Amino acid sequence: MRRFLIGALLTALLAYPMLFYAHKYAVPWTGMNDFRSYHAMVLNPLDFDAVRAPFAMRQIPTLIARAILELGLIYPNDIWFEQHATQGGATYSKDVFFALMFGSFLGMVGTGGLLYMAAARLDGERARLLSPYGLLAVGLLLLAGTTLFYTLAPLTEGWSWFLLLEIVVLSRRDDRWRWVALPLLMLAIFERELLPLVIAIIATAELLAGWTEVGADRRRYLLALLGTSLLSLFTYWLLRGVVLPLWEVDQRQISPIFWARYLLLNWRRLIEFEFVQGVFFKLNVFLLWAAAAAAALRQGLPRQDTAFLAALALSATTILLIAVGSAGDRGSDRLVAILTPLFVLSLVELLHRLNGADPRGD
């Protein structure tokens, strides 16, 4: 807990100027149009009919923003958003704008705490006031190109980061606390529907790589983790496709058949310079990770570590293809950015190994 609090405090102190800047000058109509839906959800909490189904499912960040409003945690400042608050004949509240942005900031602070705690274990038994690896992890998180663009924004990314990293950190434990990851997986569909998919890929990769190497207890846990991930995805599909009203335009988001057809007809889009530039411009940490992973693989890695790298690469590729396949390629980098804290943690572990140490800190 001490390490978590240190990391969270460091993240808050270092990221506050970024929050101030984003709040002062951000205008959501330049790449953050989803704000329209989240604005309506904050004003109509738990009303699944307030907006279209893909947004209506993301109740966690909007409920947090609503709590911020109710508590009066509003920063009274003259901001650029006020000059652009009216769009399409509707006027949007600057208080809701701040509540969503501050809520995502809190999620990022929690993510920083988890990252610091997870990375600090690489120090081993050495007692330090501040962990060098923890500081590196927090710094990389804040310098990630997606942080300022998508996380310090009136969107949902902050709590997606926190929930995904929390599930992964819990799943690495060998005590009873690891089982908390299972209910969190079921809850994840009300934050971001892609989170259970990522966990399913990670669990499958570890199972395939270490079926004969890990103990029976670990295998049972991984099977439970995989099964819960699949159940969570099925529950999401059931709610999206059956229970909630499904607009025709949203059918493509839950239809693998549509994805495959669209990709077959538009595969050239994946190699166009404009698309490649747009996707990778903000994914600087991902490119650093790729370089470190290549260097570590040349040196040789245990099968379990290689499996985690493969799971991250497959997760990013799958999300990218889903984003393009659902005809939403303009926001592809934003969806891949959900993986940022996992890539940061993996990058720090790779750098630790390349520095000549066991990534488990032993």
User: 132-149 pLDDT, tens per residue?
Assistant: 999 999 999 999 988 988
In the predicted structure, residue 292 carries a pLDDT above the cut 90: yes
| Averaged pLDDT for residues 237-250 | 69
In the predicted structure, residue 125 carries a pLDDT above the cut 70: no
CA distance 131 to 6: 10
Residues in the chain: 362
> How far, in Å, are 14, 21, 25, 176, 314 from residue 154 at the CA level?
19, 13, 12, 36, 28
User: 185-225 pLDDT, tens per residue?
Assistant: 999 999 998 999 999 999 999 999 877 677 888 999 999 99
CA distance 285 to 357: 22
In the predicted structure, residue 229 carries a pLDDT above the cut 50: yes
User: 69-103 pLDDT, tens per residue?
Assistant: 999 988 877 888 888 888 777 888 999 999 999 99
Determine the 3-state secondary structure of 280 from DSSP. helix
Look at residues 137, 95, 136, 93 and name the one whose alpha carbon lies nearest to residue 114: 137
> How far, in Å, are 86, 152, 240, 341, 355 from residue 13 at the CA level?
33, 14, 39, 18, 29
Q: Which residue has the tokens 């929690």?
A: 110
Q: Tokens at residue 350, please?
A: 């790779």
- The alpha carbon dihedral of 63, 177, 1, 306 has a sign of negative
Contact 228, 186 (CB under 8 A): yes
Residue 61 CB contacts under 8 Å (≥ 6 apart), including other chains:
38, 100, 103, 104, 107, 155, 156, 158, 159, 191
Q: Which string of b and e fits 258-289 if b means at least 16 CB within 10 Å?
A: ebeebbeeeeeeeeeeebeeebeebbebbebb
CA of residue 345 relative to chain centroid, distance: 13
Instruction: Supply the pLDDT for residue 12.
Output: 97
The residue that leads in pLDDT, 126 or 90, is 90
Instruction: Supply the pLDDT for residue 362.
Output: 45
Look at residues 5, 17, 15, 20 and name the one whose alpha carbon lies nearest to residue 142: 15
Residue 29 CB contacts under 8 Å (≥ 6 apart), including other chains:
84, 87
CA distance 279 to 316: 12
CA distance 93 to 39: 8
Q: Where are the alpha helices (DSSP H) in the chain?
A: 2-25, 35-43, 53-56, 59-71, 94-120, 132-143, 145-146, 157-171, 181-187, 195-210, 216-238, 256-266, 273-280, 284-299, 303-325, 332-336, 340-354
Average pLDDT of every residue of the chain: 87
Look at residues 241, 207, 236 and name the one whose alpha carbon lies nearest to residue 224: 207
Contact 219, 208 (CB under 8 A): no
CA of residue 342 relative to chain centroid, distance: 8
Instruction: Supply the pLDDT for residue 273.
Output: 67
> How far, in Å, are 123, 257, 260 from residue 324 at the CA level?
40, 13, 10
Q: Is 177 left (phi over 0), alpha (psi -120 to 50) or beta?
A: alpha
Instruction: Supply the pLDDT for residue 86.
Output: 82
Q: Is 143 left (phi over 0), alpha (psi -120 to 50) or beta?
A: alpha
User: 9-28 pLDDT, tens per residue?
Assistant: 999 999 999 999 999 998 88
pLDDT band at 247 (very low <50, low <70, confident <90, very high): low
Instruction: Supply the pLDDT for residue 54.
Output: 79
pLDDT band at 342 (very low <50, low <70, confident <90, very high): very high
Instruction: Supply the pLDDT for residue 283.
Output: 85
- The alpha carbon dihedral of 287, 291, 297, 302 has a sign of negative
pLDDT band at 126 (very low <50, low <70, confident <90, very high): low
